[in-house]
Chains A and B, each alone.
Chain A
């Protein structure tokens, strides 16, 4: 009797993936638990808060309310797949899983289901080639842009010559961390520096051996592709071996406020690449404070506004909202489907005027997405941590990356994917 009751309850509970239609659904595959929660929480908060702002201030997008159902993945690919399957039936318009591993799982699945996948600044870099990856978008910048931007910065501060320098790459030993190696090898050949790749295994709490190796090899610069708890540990370890912070450059995922604060003053001068603005000095954040946080509708505690990763969540949500709006205009319907959303993303055009209108003037680049190019302009800047002020400062202008090196790599990698999966090129 008791057992049958439990069994019946389990079956009903397993079936409660109730589809709610007639809303624009942007599922948030977030992670608020586990070793990567430090980055996952502000991103998910920013992503949700921007959509809440649109609901509260503008009544949604084109008059249709927005829903952001959350699903906890813990940065784990199996849970990510479960989340994808459980939210797919709710009319999901686009997925933004914030995990390169989950992205690799989802690329074939979303293509089969014709749902777009948006991976700004992460995921499979060669997805920038829209001719092969019809449903994957990674504008405005990707890992290989980041690698090139970091090297460009080193060129700039070294007067254009880094021949014979030794550059170490401390990376998360996963698909994410391995992504930039190929580009850095290409750049090493071009500029004549020596690349030293040092892997750190998941979750990255123990890095004594890696930093001992760095102390022994004495590289001129260290680049880092880290995420979650690995970032904080690496910066602390770098401080412990007295590695000069200004020679230490992280990718944008290693450039969160929570990454540098644990090391206190010792992290002063640490640099990171970024593809959007820093700080909370943009009108949109005032609106978020007013409409979302002050009215108690914030996704988190509301204390992350203006922090680097939170801003990135807001930026991603903004670009998706603009794409949804574009899709509504193209198809003449407010209630768009995932396939129409894909068309909207492919036709997205971001101008500086529009950014000013949105209260984010100068926050990110102006660009257009096309059928061939899903990767955007690939521009970025370098931010530096000021421990005394407790904030990031941009120390360079938004510049382009070395597409002479990156484009052939994108073409080669996407061609390999196309031949493995029998994909014929589109956009002809």
Chain B
């Protein structure tokens, strides 16, 4: 009744092509933006930022990155953790080497460095596909973590191999280090997420995104109609790695404050982000957010309900959490293989017809 195209007259091509063509969607988007920017920062405390918002927003960036590569361009990658490590170590080296340069620039540069590394490891994708490419990116994962453990230059020769984020500020507000205010930590993550999601959405709607999807759906056909597979695959790797690198940089500098390659950026991280995009929905911007929210919030929620609410022993709750999360992943894959994004899409389709479905 309310959720429909009818009555929302478009008078230009620009209006016709906008991301949210339905008025209610647009309103929802503006309300979310308003709440995220103007309401949440006044109410967040350390617990909410460190347990919920910072991991959710940062994982959303990583999921966006992997979704561009796997969801849009169809190149399976298991190297996400390794690329996040590149971002983290790059931002660390930059922060220490150039303390006067803004952290925002460092994070973007770290993304750029990760993009270069991503393209290097993406080169094999020109010759190999599917499972074989997954194995090649798996090699990247192990190689990168090994390098960051092995070469002391990356961690400035510290005794323990840990990297620690020094204190840096944006416009005089501290955003890294232990003295960061909760809202500052939240805002820096939010700004990066919003800008990068906007970029991702528009890239995937444009020529580049169509090339990626062409390669994903049938690479030979795409090549015949004039898509250059070399460029399409390498740009997918570059853009994806840029996103993942930014996520890794924020993960280390803003969220954790200290990290070590093997523990923070191991193979488990690669799988976590892969699960996020599978559950959220491959080839969907909204899906990246939904998947990140699902994988970050569900364990915290279960823990608070079972241990905080019901007073269960912590080990029982932790084991149950594994089973519930694992079970839900299986259920999702069986009932809705296209993820949460598809559920959302179906809901919207039904809403258009509501309340007269026939």
**Residues of A participating in the B interface, judged by any CB pair closer than 8 Å:** 10, 13-14, 16-18, 30, 32-33, 37, 41, 70-72, 74, 76-78, 81-82, 85-86, 88-89, 100-101, 104-105, 108-109, 111-112, 124-126, 173-176, 178-179, 181-182, 199, 201-202, 409, 413, 416, 420-422
Contact = CB atoms under 8 A, between A and B. Distances in A.
A409 B257 CA distance: 24
Interface stretch (B158-166, B199-207, B279-287): B158-166
Given A17-B47, A111-B178, A174-B263, A72 B164 contact: no
B256 A77 contact: yes
B130 interface: no
B225 to A, nearest CB: 43
Given A82-B300, A111-B178, A201-B262, A32 B314 contact: yes
B315 interface: yes
Interface string B300-335: 110111011100011101110010000000000000
B149 A173 contact: yes
User: Nearest 8 A-B pairs (CB), nearest first?
Assistant: A32-B315, A108-B178, A175-B160, A112-B178, A72-B314, A33-B318, A16-B308, A85-B47
Contact of A179 (B159, B259, B264, B314): B159
B304 A178 contact: no
B179 interface: yes
Interface in B25-68: 46-48, 50-52, 55
Query: Which DSSP category, helix, strand, loop or mixed, fits chain B's interface?
Result: helix
Given A10-B301, A81-B51, 8 more contacts: A14-B304, A16-B309, A70-B313, A77-B256, A100-B160, A108-B178, A420-B166, A421-B177
Contacts of B149: 173, 199
Given A13-B305, A88-B46, A78 B55 contact: yes
Given A71-B314, A85-B51, A174-B263, A108 B161 contact: no
Contacts of B50: 81-82, 85
Interface in B224-280: 256-260, 262-264, 266
Contact of A33 (B46, B159, B319): B319
Given A72-B315, A72-B318, A199-B149, A105 B262 contact: no
B219 interface: no
14 contacts: A13-B304, A13-B309, A16-B308, A18-B308, A32-B315, A72-B307, A77-B256, A77-B264, A88-B47, A108-B177, A109-B257, A173-B149, A174-B263, A182-B159
A83 to B, nearest CB: 9
A33 B51 contact: no
A173 B164 CA distance: 18
A81 B158 CA distance: 22
A10 B308 CA distance: 13
Contacts of A32: 313-315, 318
A421 B178 CA distance: 10
Contacts of A181: 159
Contacts of A41: 315
A201 B262 CA distance: 8
Point out which of B55, B159, B179 has the most chain A C-beta atoms below 10 A from its C-beta: B159
Contacts of B319: 33
A174 B309 contact: no
A421 B166 contact: yes
A263 B307 CA distance: 36
A181 B149 CA distance: 14
Contacts of A124: 160
Contacts of A82: 50-51, 300
Point out which of B266, B317, B318 has the most chain A C-beta atoms below 10 A from its C-beta: B318
B308 A175 contact: no
A159 B350 CA distance: 85
Contacts of B301: 10, 13-14
B257 A105 contact: yes
Interface residues of B, number: 44
B301 to A, nearest CB: 5
Query: Which DSSP category, helix, strand, loop or mixed, fits chain A's interface?
Result: helix
B313 to A, nearest CB: 8
Contacts of B55: 78
B159 A202 contact: no
Contact of A13 (B160, B164, B308, B313): B308
Given A77-B263, A173-B149, A105 B258 contact: yes
Nearest to B150: A199
A108 B253 CA distance: 13
Contacts of B300: 14, 82
A131 to B, nearest CB: 18
B155 to A, nearest CB: 10
B178 A70 contact: no
B262 A86 contact: no
A13 B300 CA distance: 9
A202 B257 contact: no
Contacts of A109: 178, 257
A108 B179 CA distance: 8
A201 B47 CA distance: 31
B258 A104 contact: yes
Given A174-B262, A420-B166, A16 B304 contact: yes
Contacts of B47: 17, 85-86, 88-89
A202 B263 contact: yes
A201 B145 CA distance: 11
Contacts of A105: 256-258
B180 to A, nearest CB: 9
Contacts of B177: 108, 421
B5 to A, nearest CB: 24
Nearest to A33: B318
Contact of A86 (B51, B167, B178, B305): B51
B167 A421 contact: yes
Point out which of B149, B158, B160 has the most chain A C-beta atoms below 10 A from its C-beta: B160
A420 B309 contact: no
Given A82-B300, A109-B257, A101 B164 contact: no
A175 B161 CA distance: 6
A407 to B, nearest CB: 15
Contacts of B259: 77
A389 to B, nearest CB: 30
A108 B149 CA distance: 23
B264 A173 contact: no
B164 A178 contact: no
A417 to B, nearest CB: 8
